[in-house]
Structure formats: C-alpha cells, structure tokens
C-alpha cells in the first residue's frame, strides 16, 4: 500500500520512516525545500535516537521518497504543526493547507488521517468540508479519521510502536480501516471511539501533565516562602500510593504542553479555570528564575556574566521550541547581563559556545537550565578555576550538592532561599 505523509517534522518524519521500514511505499511531503533536499541526500537535521540510521536505510531502499508535492496514495496522513497565535488561539492554517494540497490526488477508497493535535471538532468541521470540496464524498467515497501521536521526543521510534492509541473514525467503516492500518505496525492497544472524544483525549493528556507540573511549581513558590525544600516535600508526598506529583522547574516548554491546553481554554473560556491558571503559573517560571538570579547577583558590581548550561525545552533533545530557558535568556539579556551558553545538543544560537570552559570564563554565576544526562560528567572543579564568581543555580535538582560544594561552589537549588 502507498502512504503519503504530509509534514516532515519530528512526528511526520518519524511515522513516514517507520511505515517505510514496515514495508509501505511512502511519500513524505514538506513545503520546506531545505528539508526535502536534505532528506533526499539522506541528511536529517532532527536529532532523535536511531532516526537518522533508519531514514538513511529506507531512503536508500527507495521505500521512503521525499518531495514538496503530494502524490496519489491509498492512505494520507496529515502531520503538520498546529501552533497558537499571540491570542492563544489555534492557528490551523497548516492543517488547512495540507488538506487542500492532497485534494487533486484523492481517489475513491482512500483513507485520510489527521494526526496533528487539534482543537475538538477540527476533523469534522474543518477537514471534512475541505475534502468534500472536490467531487468525492466522505463516508461514501473516501474515509476519514483522527489518530493523534502520543510519542515522547527522545524515544519516538519506540513509542510509535509500543504506545496505546485512542482513535476515532467519522463512521464505522473509517474506524475499521484506521484500526486495520494502525494494527499493521502498532503493538499497543488501539481503542476506537468517536472523533471528538479522540481529539479531546489528546488535549486532556497534555493538559493533565501541564496542570500537574503547575501544581509542583506552585508548591515550589510556597515552600520557598516558608523555607522548606520543595523537592523533599514532593519526594515524600509521592510515597503515598495515590499521589504522583511531577517535578517543578524553570517552566514548561516544547511544542505540546505549552500549546495544547490553550485549545481547551479557547473553546471553553468560562469553564477552563484550572487549565488556564496552570498555563499562567508555568509561564511565570522563567521570570521566577530570573528574579532568583537577580537576588543572587545583587552584590556583584559592574558587568555580570551568567553561564547557562542547557537551553533545550527538556533533557536530551535538540529542540528549543518554546523553551523556558530561552525566555530566561531574553529576560537576562534585556536586563543587561553578559550571557554565554553551553549546550552540546544545539548547533547554533546567540551566545552559544562550543567549549564548556570557554563558556564559563569570567562567569559570576552558572545556571543549570536543562538536565541533559551528559551534564553528569561535567567537572565543576575545572569550571570553578576559570570563573570569576562561585555560585551555581540548579533549576532541575539534578546535580549532586555535596560534589559541587566540595569544589567550593555555593550551590543553590531552585526553591532555596
């Protein structure tokens, strides 16, 4: 069977590659010429474990082809981004143009799947009318469904296969076709429900995680005020069999948790209170870290240099989209701090140094922004030698306090006074 995947970001490229690996003839489509030409040469700019090896293999075997225009296929998967605009409202232009782009390639019997995380109602109210603007009728000539991805960046290829799916078809036949298709490569369970429920479930999963993290961040602020170590409070609370609080930190980033909850808020302004407040609490964290840095450096005279270790939105990925550390850097920059950054996952960014020691030269304060596993190997003794100051702020409770203090750093954990 032929599959055409529209959108070759983290999700689209991964699913296209996996399907090609499972024997489908796949056409991956992206309007970005650079992505297409790079992939055609077997080059991939996304850093995701094993993806580069698999992409090279399926491109070489010609099971995956890449182009900037779609082609005829039996199954079309739409996996483009659904960002929010400055009013926190879903920007569906990519979903709309992706759907429009396949119209002239559709034929009777085709199955169209929306995988992009979308506001409730998108498949029925936006995608269906566009598909029917050609002379094919949904449910009679072509089939339509929603199947969001639930993969975890850093472990995408594994989770694409292993995770359970909650999917919805526009009618029974569509659901049947969706189920058959996903069972051809998914090893998890596939639960079939109606489209709107499937759309809402995807939003709820990420909103749930966002609310839980906001709770942890609120606890951090409270514990700071009453001089308690929030990390211990959470650790011991989680010993209860029915309590599972996530980690506080410098804020919530990425393309999912900081965006998807707004799709619920937008459509339910009067009711979505906790969800909206949680977004605001999580968005306040970079400013909270900034204020902490101001306090820690208040007695330093003249230019103040801050070194940031890690700027991606979370550990062990290369993605800096919506990263709270990027927000922190903007605040520091506006306040006149000299900044240098060390993040081996990132190839290019203002203030980025390729060498850790160089990044720390003459620095007054080092901030651990992201808990990349490789940061465990850093020699803080070497860093200390080249620094002007001696303060280290750990925003993730990742480093070993004793080890850091042994080399004469003042170790501050986010939440400490």
Cα(124)–Cα(268) distance, rounded to whole angstroms? 19
Residue 59 or 368 having the CB closest to ligand SAJ: 368
* Residue bearing tokens 């702020």: 393
Residue 103 or 190 having the CB closest to ligand SAJ: 190
Question: Does residue 3 contact residue 75 with C-beta atoms inside 8 Å?
Answer: yes
Is residue 72 a contact residue for ligand SAJ (CB under 6 A)?
no
Interface with ligand SAJ in residues 159-218 (CB under 6 A): 205-206, 209, 213
Strands 143-146 and 165-169: antiparallel
Stretch that binds ligand SAJ, among 150-158, 221-229, 273-281, 350-358 (CB under 6 A): 150-158
Residue 70 or 253 having the CB closest to ligand SAJ: 253
Given the residues 179, 202, 292, 412, the one annotated as active site: 202
Is residue 119 a contact residue for ligand SAJ (CB under 6 A)?
no
Question: Does residue 317 contact residue 154 with C-beta atoms inside 8 Å?
Answer: yes
- Using CB under 6 A, pick the residue from 12, 70, 169, 253 that binds ligand SAJ: 253
* Residue bearing tokens 């995807």: 202
| Nearest approach, Cβ of residue 313 and ligand SAJ (Å) | 4
| Nearest approach, Cβ of residue 200 and ligand SAJ (Å) | 14
Q: Mapping DSSP to helix (H, G, I), strand (E, B) and coil, where does residue 215 land?
A: helix
| Nearest approach, Cβ of residue 171 and ligand SAJ (Å) | 26
Kindly state the DSSP code that residue 254 receives in the 8-state scheme: S
- Using CB under 6 A, pick the residue from 165, 279, 314, 372 that binds ligand SAJ: 314
The order of strands in the sheet holding 338-342 is: 338-342, 305-309, 365-368, 391-394, 410-413
Cα(206)–Cα(160) distance, rounded to whole angstroms? 17
User: E strands within 175-312?
Assistant: 190-194, 305-309
| Nearest approach, Cβ of residue 12 and ligand SAJ (Å) | 12
Is residue 411 a contact residue for ligand SAJ (CB under 6 A)?
no
- The C-alpha R_g of the chain, in whole angstroms, comes to 24
Given the residues 4, 147, 223, 256, the one annotated as active site: 256
Angle at the Cα of 168 (from 58 to 104), degrees rounded to 5? 60
| Nearest approach, Cβ of residue 242 and ligand SAJ (Å) | 18
SS3 string, 198-212, reads HHHHHHHHHHHHHHH
| Nearest approach, Cβ of residue 284 and ligand SAJ (Å) | 13
- Using CB under 6 A, pick the residue from 3, 252, 356, 366 that binds ligand SAJ: 252
43-46: long-range contacts (C-beta < 8 A, 24 or more apart)?
A: 44/13, 46/9, 46/10, 46/13, 46/318
Contact string 256-295 vs ligand SAJ (x = CB under 6 A): xx--------------------------------------
Residue 213 or 230 having the CB closest to ligand SAJ: 213
Question: Does residue 248 contact residue 222 with C-beta atoms inside 8 Å?
Answer: no
Q: Mapping DSSP to helix (H, G, I), strand (E, B) and coil, where does residue 190 land?
A: strand
* Residue bearing tokens 């993040």: 343
Question: Does residue 340 contact residue 307 with C-beta atoms inside 8 Å?
Answer: yes
Could you confirm whether 88 is annotated as catalytic? no
Is residue 124 a contact residue for ligand SAJ (CB under 6 A)?
no
* Size of interface with ligand SAJ, in residues (CB under 6 A): 20
Stretch that binds ligand SAJ, among 98-106, 186-194, 245-253, 286-294 (CB under 6 A): 245-253
Is residue 21 a contact residue for ligand SAJ (CB under 6 A)?
no
Is residue 310 a contact residue for ligand SAJ (CB under 6 A)?
no
* Close Cβ partners of 396 (under 8 Å, ≥ 6 residues apart): 247, 249, 250, 315, 368, 369, 370, 371, 414
- Using CB under 6 A, pick the residue from 7, 254, 261, 369 that binds ligand SAJ: 254
* Residue bearing tokens 């709770």: 215
Could you confirm whether 256 is annotated as catalytic? yes
Kindly state the DSSP code that residue 376 receives in the 8-state scheme: G
- Using CB under 6 A, pick the residue from 153, 168, 286, 369 that binds ligand SAJ: 153
| Nearest approach, Cβ of residue 251 and ligand SAJ (Å) | 7
Tokens of 3: 């599959």
Site residues for ligand SAJ per CB under 6 A: 117, 149-153, 205-206, 209, 213, 246-247, 249, 252-254, 256-257, 313-314
Active site residues: 202, 256
């Amino acid at each position: 069977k032929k599959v055409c995947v529209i959108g070759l970001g983290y999700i689209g490229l991964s699913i296209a590659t996996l399907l090609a690996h499972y024997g489908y003839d796949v056409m991956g489509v992206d309007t970005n010429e650079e992505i297409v030409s790079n992939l055609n040469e077997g080059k991939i700019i996304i850093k995701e474990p094993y993806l580069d090896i698999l992409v090279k293999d399926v491109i070489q075997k010609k099971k995956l082809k890449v182009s900037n225009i779609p082609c005829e296929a039996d199954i079309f998967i739409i996996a483009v981004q659904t960002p929010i605009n400055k009013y926190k409202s879903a920007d569906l232009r990519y979903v709309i143009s992706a759907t429009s782009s396949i119209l002239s390639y559709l034929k009777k019997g085709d199955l169209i799947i929306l995988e992009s995380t979308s506001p409730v109602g998108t498949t029925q109210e936006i995608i269906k009318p566009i598909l029917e603007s050609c002379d094919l009728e949904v449910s009679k000539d072509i089939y339509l469904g929603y199947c969001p991805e639930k993969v975890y960046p850093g472990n995408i290829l594994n989770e694409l296969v292993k995770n359970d799916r909650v999917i919805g078809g526009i009618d029974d036949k569509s659901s049947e076709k969706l189920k058959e298709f996903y069972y051809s490569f998914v090893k998890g369970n596939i639960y079939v429900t109606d489209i709107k429920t499937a759309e809402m479930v995807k939003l709820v999963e990420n909103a749930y995680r966002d609310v839980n993290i906001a709770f942890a961040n609120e606890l951090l602020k409270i514990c700071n005020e009453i001089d308690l170590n929030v990390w211990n409070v959470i650790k011991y609370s989680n010993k209860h069999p029915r309590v599972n609080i996530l980690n506080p930190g410098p804020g919530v980033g990425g393309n999912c948790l900081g965006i998807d909850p707004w799709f619920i808020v937008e459509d339910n302004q009067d009711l979505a209170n906790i969800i909206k407040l949680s977004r605001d609490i999580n968005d306040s964290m970079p400013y909270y870290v900034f204020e902490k840095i101001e306090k820690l450096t208040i007695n330093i005279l003249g230019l103040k240099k801050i070194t940031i270790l890690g700027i991606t939105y979370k550990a062990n990925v290369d993605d800096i989209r919506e990263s709270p550390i990027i927000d922190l850097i903007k605040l520091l920059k506006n306040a006149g701090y000299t900044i240098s950054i060390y993040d081996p996952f990132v190839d290019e960014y203002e203030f980025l140094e390729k060498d850790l020691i160089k990044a720390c030269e003459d620095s007054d304060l080092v901030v651990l922004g992201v808990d990349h596993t490789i940061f465990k190997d850093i020699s803080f003794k070497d860093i200390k030698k080249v620094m002007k100051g001696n303060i280290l702020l750990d925003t993730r409770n990742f480093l070993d306090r004793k080890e850091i203090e042994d080399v004469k750093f003042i170790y501050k954990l986010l939440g400490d006074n």
